[in-house]
Structure 1
Amino acid sequence: MTAAVTDALIAFYARCEQLWHTQDYLPQQAFDPEWDSPCFIAEANQPQLLPGHKAWLPIKRDEITSFSNIESALSIELEPQISTFFGAYFSDHMPASFNDEIIELVQVWSEDDSKRLQENIIAHLMMKKTLKQSPTLFIASCADDMQIIALDNVSGEVVREVLGKGIAEVLAPDLATFINQLTPVLLEH
């Protein structure tokens, strides 16, 4: 299953790069030395860059990050798809269309961001436990701030969740299927 997630991410990033190429678009991020990332690419002749910005591309990590610290801290076994989703690549968050809805895939920008993400996952899982709800792992934000797209840690399904209320609907049987249904989009900033 985790290989399928990696393959789906590779295919999604390829669709993104194809869109960027056809739109003569260069993904860029304001450069802050305190928030550096291996995603930044060498500055060549890139006239479309905004002042103070650098171009970036998703980059495959040398090895998949382990989430065993979360598992041991909370005495929980995490759905294996999540470590591949968050641990296989470094990337900025990725906007996409899913069933005509614009969402933004949460991605990991750097090692520091990976630590921050893991802290947020722990807080989310603790909140779910307090609310006596099934444990979920957020993977995307929605236009409606009260909804997220998450991976159900019990079933492995991708679900829409209403914050504070729990799972509202199942969107896909697994993460690879969900990612394969995404269409990359360009957002105007």
Structure 2
Amino acid sequence: MTVAVIDALIAFYARSEQLWQAQDYLPQQEFDPEWDSPCFIEASNSAQLRADHKAWLPVKRDAITSFSNIESALNIELDPQIAEFFGVYFSDHMPASFNDEVIELVQVWSTDDFDRLQENMIAHLMMKKTLKQPPTLFIASCVDEMQIIALDNVSGEVVREVLGKGIVEVLAPDLASFISQLTPVLLEQ
């Protein structure tokens, strides 16, 4: 277990909650009973909420989830940092600034969303194999939709990747270092 990744996530969520409180901001998501989440706050009747929306907060999970099914299906060993990144919290995607660039950390909203994430991760890894590129595991989206932030499954580094072209830049030596450099931001809803 890479405790450093978990600690970095805990600290990032704490910084996010401090920003929300300082800005009197309440994160909200449209409520769909078919897409429920443990993140929703039951008593969220605030005047800040838009119609059909509920307030939410990140929720720490009881146990870290595993990507062993992906490893078995693709006969690959995944960098253990990825399990801590996606397996410790339920949360909506989290906007952040990294080196003055706004990105959005991909997070897992619910157990069903975790299943969807795994399907997308398998498709991404299969695309990387088809393109004969080193395997990466996406962790954030960029404003430029052709770029993603990913974990290099070979080196453990956090990298910028251009879809179809591969890795173009190393951003951090590991996931904990990357998360520690993030500054939470508010996006207009």
Normalised-by-shorter TM-score class = over 0.9
Q: Cα deviations across residues 1-28 of structure 1 (Å, max 9, x unaligned)?
A: 6110000000000000000000000000
In structure 2, list runs of 5 or more residues that go unmatched. Answer: none
Q: Cα deviations across residues 20-39 of structure 1 (Å, max 9, x unaligned)?
A: 00000000000000000000
Q: Distance in 2 between matches of 1:44 and 1:107?
A: 22
Letter matched to residue 127 of structure 2: M
Q: Once the 2 structures are TM-superposed, how far is the Cα of residue 187 of structure 1 from its aligned partner?
A: 0.4
Q: Once the 2 structures are TM-superposed, how far is the Cα of residue 54 of structure 1 from its aligned partner?
A: 0.4
Q: Which residue of 2 aligns with 1:108?
A: 108
Contact 2:136–2:153 (CA under 8 A) maintained in structure 1: yes
Q: Distance in 2 between matches of 1:130 and 1:42?
A: 45
Map 1:10-49 to 2 at 5 A.
10-49=10-49
- SS of residue paired to 1:92: coil
Q: Once the 2 structures are TM-superposed, how far is the Cα of residue 173 of structure 1 from its aligned partner?
A: 0.2
- SS of residue paired to 2:34: helix
2:142 corresponds to 1:142: yes
Q: Once the 2 structures are TM-superposed, how far is the Cα of residue 43 of structure 1 from its aligned partner?
A: 1.5
* Superposition TM-score, scaled by structure 2 size: 0.99
Q: In 2 relative to 1, CA 44–112 (structure 1 residues): closer, same or farther, beyond 3 Å?
A: closer
Q: Which residue of 2 aligns with 1:9?
A: 9
Q: In 2 relative to 1, CA 31–45 (structure 1 residues): closer, same or farther, beyond 3 Å?
A: closer
2:157 corresponds to 1:127: no
Q: Once the 2 structures are TM-superposed, how far is the Cα of residue 45 of structure 1 from its aligned partner?
A: 4.7
In structure 1, list runs of 5 or more residues that go unmatched. Answer: none
Q: Distance in 1 between matches of 2:52 and 2:185?
A: 24
Q: Distance in 2 between matches of 1:101 and 1:44?
A: 32
* Superposition TM-score, scaled by structure 1 size: 0.99
Aligned residues: 189
Q: Which residue of 2 aligns with 1:77?
A: 77
RMSD: 0.8
Q: Which residue of 2 aligns with 1:167?
A: 167
Letter matched to residue 157 of structure 2: E
Q: Which residue of 1 aligns with 2:66?
A: 66
